[in-house]
Structure 1
């Protein structure tokens, strides 16, 4: 592998998806809840839950109840992550077999150092059609149900559902090593335990500062995968955009209408030139190379790909070929 290739992450895809990516400068991060493998992003949660159950005998009931909020039974876990997958291997027989069953497949070499950001679906700062009770959990509540206030009389806001908060966007390697996974789980549990204990203490009443813990927790958990898949050498971008009404799109799929987030680069004409957390117009994706999968028609495939790249003004994108021999 050359130094140039080491800077790339490879997104495997078919011809139809490649055309859409080049035309729109978008990569789609799909909802974890709608993946073909229903346990795809649950491995970490399963391990965390087991670790929690192993520790319960030594924990006070109040702490156990607090932790249940962040470490629910796995079957009840709500998976709000959006995932874009790629591989650090740009010529993987495993990946070519998966994507190249009926037609020529491609691996898009993306600059791993460039972050991707969500593309906004709607403008505006508030939900255009808020459901009943949308703001019910926005404020800290007293024991009698009244909204808690600061000394100046202003309400204590726990979390504004319309506030823009975007976590993730960088490529992270999937963790296959069971020993490393165990370290991640133990460290995550200790952080959650510390947070819950502080929240329930008299010295630090309220819970408005702890809302971010599920996001921090899930980024590590969603990178844990069974070591049997090690040869995929997968890396992921995992994003959690808020509010969902502003960033989440839908497309038809085998499990219903599949939520997804469009990822792009900054560089388009954004509504706010100072905004760097999301884009309102697509920017050019950091595509540096496109590799053509094993095929007996490599010269024809390369000719048409180079033509398409030129139509989009992508004259600097390198076209290469898989070195794996084609087998009929």
Structure 2
């Protein structure tokens, strides 16, 4: 059944994170390479590699070599993908157990019809401290050996920002893998073909495929009913923040709405000032202190002037 535009997705979180969300109007999308689950965002890449191996005998050596660049054998999650997770279930026992082990947890109901955009950390248009060799991968050569730049590494380019449902069904996953592989092969074959005279042959790194691959997840997690926003912001220096974590300094992107007063009011790809998030409801997780938890949350919302956000409580009975 198709999802209605007014349907909510539910971002489960703890009290500390909820206060940051309400105060700063930002949600944090973490780097896929630093997620706690070591198998997260790998299923699609593994399936794509297996499909590639099945098709290898029908490919030319040149096409095979170039595809190796985009379908590596090493199973590594993309550092360019930033993921914000939620659920279509507003009262998930699985999610409450994960987030409510030691304190009251919350599910933030967000309007899925409103896109979220990265919040810029810097306003500059050029890298303030470019490292040696910055942008060298954007250099290619024409038929006469004359170098030309295929793109500007400081150009703002952002993909994603829409809520998408995670794919658990094996048949749907197979269809995604086949489509991604055919697009990759077509792109590689076109890039290997002789360039038309007088035209530049440009093909950016095909990270567009990552969103579809990153939506594939093992069927064993189906009860999470996960929804995801995946974003790929460029340039990284303009949008990527860092926080401490178990694996070192964890990159993340702040997502917000376009309701803030941006420096450029016509800019729709990112925000320079956070805008009010499309929060429609906040559900309090299972707790024996629901009266106190409800009163304090409503008081906090009142302090921020968020009078239109509905507060509800989990219907799952609490057990000590």
| Bin of the TM-score, shorter chain as denominator length | over 0.9
The reply on whether 1:308 has 2:305 as its aligned counterpart is: no
Q: Deviation digits for residues 256-292 of structure 1, max 9, x if unmatched?
A: 0000000000011111011010000000000000000
Q: Deviation digits for residues 191-214 of structure 1, max 9, x if unmatched?
A: 111111111112559985321522
The reply on whether 1:232 has 2:224 as its aligned counterpart is: yes
CA drift at 1:25:
0.2
- For 1:126-275, what aligned pairs fall within 5 Å after superposition? 126-142=126-142, 146-147=146-147, 156-203=148-195, 208-214=201-207, 216-275=208-267
Deviates more, 1:308-317 or 1:131-140: 131-140
User: Number of residues paired by the alignment?
Assistant: 317
The reply on whether 1:281 has 2:273 as its aligned counterpart is: yes
C-alpha distance in structure 2 between counterparts of 1:289 and 1:164, whole Å: 33
Q: Deviation digits for residues 242-269 of structure 1, max 9, x if unmatched?
A: 0000000000000000000000000111
C-alpha distance in structure 1 between counterparts of 2:22 and 2:277, whole Å: 8
SS at match of 1:294: coil
The reply on whether 1:84 has 2:84 as its aligned counterpart is: yes
CA drift at 1:78:
3.8
C-alpha change, 1:134 and 1:301, in structure 2 (3 Å) is: same
Give the match for residue 36 of structure 2: 36
CA contact (8 A) 2:118 2:256 kept: yes
CA drift at 1:237:
0.2
Give the match for residue 103 of structure 2: 103
CA drift at 1:19:
0.4
C-alpha distance in structure 2 between counterparts of 1:51 and 1:251, whole Å: 37
CA contact (8 A) 2:195 2:201 kept: no
CA RMSD in angstroms comes to 1.8
C-alpha distance in structure 2 between counterparts of 1:135 and 1:299, whole Å: 57
Q: TM-score when scaled to structure 2?
A: 0.95
Q: Deviation digits for residues 65-106 of structure 1, max 9, x if unmatched?
A: 121121112335643100000000000000000000000000
Q: Which structure 2 segments of 5+ residues have no match?
A: none
Q: Deviation digits for residues 54-74 of structure 1, max 9, x if unmatched?
A: 110111101101211211123
CA contact (8 A) 1:288 1:318 kept: yes
SS at match of 1:262: strand
The reply on whether 1:291 has 2:278 as its aligned counterpart is: no
CA drift at 1:188:
0.7
SS at match of 2:209: helix
Q: Deviation digits for residues 170-209 of structure 1, max 9, x if unmatched?
A: 0000000011100100011111111111111125599853
